[in-house]
Structure 1
């Protein structure tokens, strides 16, 4: 931490990079001197005006709000106030589990809060509303002229639900990609947004399932039906929808990191298809598993332990591997900037370790809230800088990429100077 408050950093002479390569456009003898960066690249003209983008954002959220009102009026309200309150309270348990997992995954390279909120709202409102609108006509289209009850149930659960629901959930990921690559820039980003979308969809769906099972429990005068539904959907499978949608998010994230249009189609469709298959296997278990009248839940538990648990463990292992990979990438890329004179070795160690980041913010917080905010801004800018360099090394470097790198370096310089001015003693001891 002494490097942040140092009065005179060591001079490091760095040669300029080749014009056609991705490097540091100018030498950096002084990490604090923004004037030595030379003339900034001219900003790339934008096709859309700022107010157009904000208007589109506002229209998107208004459309989601309208969808929420329609779901409430035509789906949740018919359950009754008391039943809806019970179902809503019960649905908070699995979504809290999902939020905890997403927070742990996302906290290393945090995403903008507004985009995280959008992802959850899309899953809870937008994808559910579209699934209700499109699901019925799609089921009628794939069903025979006069289907039996079991045929209609099978087609709805094993064919219609996986195709329509996973497609509608993945549409939220496509929307984030349209808004900008900075939202989904790597595999972890895709998994985080997909998990929030899947968790939001499961949240609304759980309200409906818990409400219907509560009605059945009241009609039968027993609570076993409700508690079985709560255990199966709330405790045993809170990550079911999350896992299905995360496969598409993983594929899109890998494609975004590689900046390949062909990978967007190949891995995106591949992940979406695999999620549909897992969704169909999950829903189809209700039709293929033998039911023991004396122990109706026993067959499902055996299937759950032998099939679903290994799948969830494998997906969790993939996420853990990506998290560790992200840390190695960040250390490697920030070390490159460190050799160019931007960071001291101790600062690189601080930026790649969660515990040291917290201690750095705590140290800055002892000098005031502004110093703490500047330290947090420096950490986030450095993280974005390292991950952007890694992504840029896999694709064509553009003027916009260099301009964003320069903006982040200037932001880091300004935060460093602000922290130094607030933490360095005014009078020498």
Structure 2
């Protein structure tokens, strides 16, 4: 009689025994090198263009002021992404694309289009208005959307839903706004230098108040609409091709329309800006913030609902679905590992385990909804193998976090899944 293995055998790595010989242009280092070179050149050109318009002193002043909202905007999007954190390289790419490539395209295209309209119509003032309300929204939102599209196409495993779309779009727009603010603030400073204005009544102070204090979320708000379109498309099945095309386009058009409304607010009369700001921008920002937080909580519920199947199969411990569905328990598990199992490397291992388990839950959810991709089985095997490799550190930490965070169940009520009512026995997935 054959004996059963004491634990589920981790699957072999993908492509074992197969030799692949990609062409030189398909190699990762070639692609990364080409992309890095493109972004670096775009950044240098942007730097030269801004410096030519603002001067060296204006560039430095604009840079110092424009950087102020960047850390907290980035931190806000990173906080939103904590359930299934994407790799840092995607965020760095998104910010660099927005600050360099998208900003360069916008500066060149907007300037060319505005000059062409002014020449064709002999109306420079009308050309400026048309450029701000029509040309700029189309050009800028398209340039920023390109970053979301690239991540959606080439980092598909890291793009699984609405939160991923919101985060990539928001970080891209944060980078774009950073460069644009340098230009506006540097130009305002140069104007003050020529006129001799100083203090709170200066053009620099007014520009800082409007762009940095009142509306640092403006560009992220516009582009997040595009990200939501891509995020919903990511939740669609591969056979729903029309849906996967129309949803991102609809989000992009909505982003362009919102951007055009914001840019055109100054043409609605002396109080047009404040009417659009208070009547549309602030409520839209609040609504999208609520949607993003609600989506994050929904992701945690998905984790708690999908992972018990892997507990029954022996891949996860009984308390892990509960712990992995709580951000407090996750943080506590990382802290426990850091203090008891080897410092920061142990904490990073637990964080990696949490991320893989979350990806596994989302993958299973898509499969159960009939939206599995062609690489479903391969991806599931990769995630299970990584979980099994890290289980020695992660499982005790998560079990501790479950015991420490769960509330005592009401007498007579069913406990939450994985509730550690008694000390954990030695783990045995085939225990009857």
User: Do both proteins adopt the same fold according to a TM-score greater than 0.5, normalized to the shorter chain?
Assistant: yes
Q: Given the alignment of the two structures, is residue 304 of structure 1 paired with residue 290 of structure 2, yes or no?
A: no
Q: Equivalents in 1 of 2:232, 2:20: separation in Å?
A: 27
Aligned residue number for residue 254 of structure 1: 232
Aligned residue number for residue 260 of structure 2: 280
Q: Given the alignment of the two structures, is residue 115 of structure 1 paired with residue 74 of structure 2, yes or no?
A: no
Q: Map 1:37-186; keep pairs closer than 5 Å.
A: 48=22, 52-139=27-114, 145-186=120-161
Q: Given the alignment of the two structures, is residue 315 of structure 1 paired with residue 288 of structure 2, yes or no?
A: yes
Please list the CA deviations of residues 227-284 of structure 1 after superposition, one character each: whole Å capped at 9, or x if unmatched: 1111110011111110111111111111112133222211111000000000000000
Change (3 A) 1:251 1:422: closer
Q: Equivalents in 1 of 2:56, 2:19: separation in Å?
A: 52
Change (3 A) 1:262 1:75: same
> 1:397 offset after TM fit, Å?
4.2
Q: Equivalents in 2 of 1:47, 1:301: separation in Å?
A: 60
Q: Equivalents in 2 of 1:47, 1:162: separation in Å?
A: 44
Q: Equivalents in 2 of 1:324, 1:140: separation in Å?
A: 48
Unaligned runs of 5+ in 2: 399-432
Q: Map 1:222-241; keep pairs closer than 5 Å.
A: 222-223=197-198, 224=201, 225-241=203-219
Aligned residue number for residue 25 of structure 1: none
> 1:214 offset after TM fit, Å?
1.2
Match for 2:310 among 337, 353, 358? Answer: 337
Q: Equivalents in 1 of 2:396, 2:255: separation in Å?
A: 52
SS at match of 2:280: helix
Please list the CA deviations of residues 8-42 of structure 1 after superposition, one character each: whole Å capped at 9, or x if unmatched: xxxxxxxxxxxxxxxxxxxx985x4426x6x7775
Aligned residue number for residue 378 of structure 1: 353
RCO comparison, higher one (Cα < 8 Å, 6+)? 1
Change (3 A) 1:277 1:422: closer
SS at match of 1:258: coil
Q: Equivalents in 1 of 2:337, 2:397: separation in Å?
A: 9
Change (3 A) 1:396 1:275: closer
Q: Given the alignment of the two structures, is residue 411 of structure 1 paired with residue 389 of structure 2, yes or no?
A: no
Structure 1 window deviating more from structure 2 (58-67 vs 130-139): it is: 130-139
Aligned residue number for residue 301 of structure 2: 328
> 1:103 offset after TM fit, Å?
1.8
Structure 1 window deviating more from structure 2 (260-269 vs 238-247): it is: 260-269
Q: Equivalents in 2 of 1:397, 1:315: separation in Å?
A: 28
> 1:74 offset after TM fit, Å?
2.0
Q: Equivalents in 2 of 1:301, 1:109: separation in Å?
A: 38
Structure 1 window deviating more from structure 2 (177-186 vs 148-157): it is: 177-186
Aligned residue number for residue 243 of structure 1: 221
SS at match of 1:341: coil
Conserved? CA contact 2:227–2:251, under 8 Å = yes
The aligned length equals: 386
> 1:135 offset after TM fit, Å?
2.6
Change (3 A) 1:186 1:46: farther
Change (3 A) 1:49 1:253: farther
TM-score, length of structure 1 as denominator length = 0.83
> 1:346 offset after TM fit, Å?
1.7
> 1:345 offset after TM fit, Å?
3.5
Unaligned runs of 5+ in 1: 1-27, 292-298, 424-429
Q: Equivalents in 2 of 1:268, 1:176: separation in Å?
A: 13
Q: Given the alignment of the two structures, is residue 362 of structure 1 paired with residue 335 of structure 2, yes or no?
A: yes
SS at match of 1:145: helix
Conserved? CA contact 1:77–1:84, under 8 Å = no
Q: Given the alignment of the two structures, is residue 198 of structure 1 paired with residue 173 of structure 2, yes or no?
A: yes
TM-score, length of structure 2 as denominator length = 0.82
Q: Given the alignment of the two structures, is residue 267 of structure 1 paired with residue 247 of structure 2, yes or no?
A: yes
SS at match of 1:182: helix
Q: Equivalents in 2 of 1:45, 1:415: separation in Å?
A: 28
Change (3 A) 1:49 1:390: farther
